[in-house]
Amino acid sequence: MIKIYHNPRCSKSRQGLEILKNSKKEFEIVKYLEEIPTEKELTEIIKLLDITPFQLVRKTEKIWKENYKGKELSDSEIIKAMVANPKLIERPIIINNNKAVIGRPPENIISII
């Protein structure tokens, strides 16, 4: 089952959702600002993406700039920061079985569906 971690207020996330709808495949929408991933879930997502936690952070967010930027943070601390402040999580994230991509640009999604 395909899963999209979606923020309806984000244009890239809405574009990603359209790609999934147009694919005619079944998928699940996770509004991650409401259904916040646990540390364990986020760790698993990061492994599927094959990136570091830092690479999943939206570094332009005010929360990041004011509270975390320039600090020496462990991977675990970065994950905790994203769970505490889910706006920091890059979006959209699409997972299909054991593959995952960040839908920036949205065309990245096509590679796993």
Annotated catalytic residues are: 10
Pairwise CA distance, residues 6 & 70, whole Å: 28
H/E/C letters for each residue in 48-95? Answer: HHCCCHHHHECCCCHHHHHHCCCCCCCHHHHHHHHHHCHHHECCCEEE
The count of other CB atoms within 10 Å of the CB of residue 5 is 28
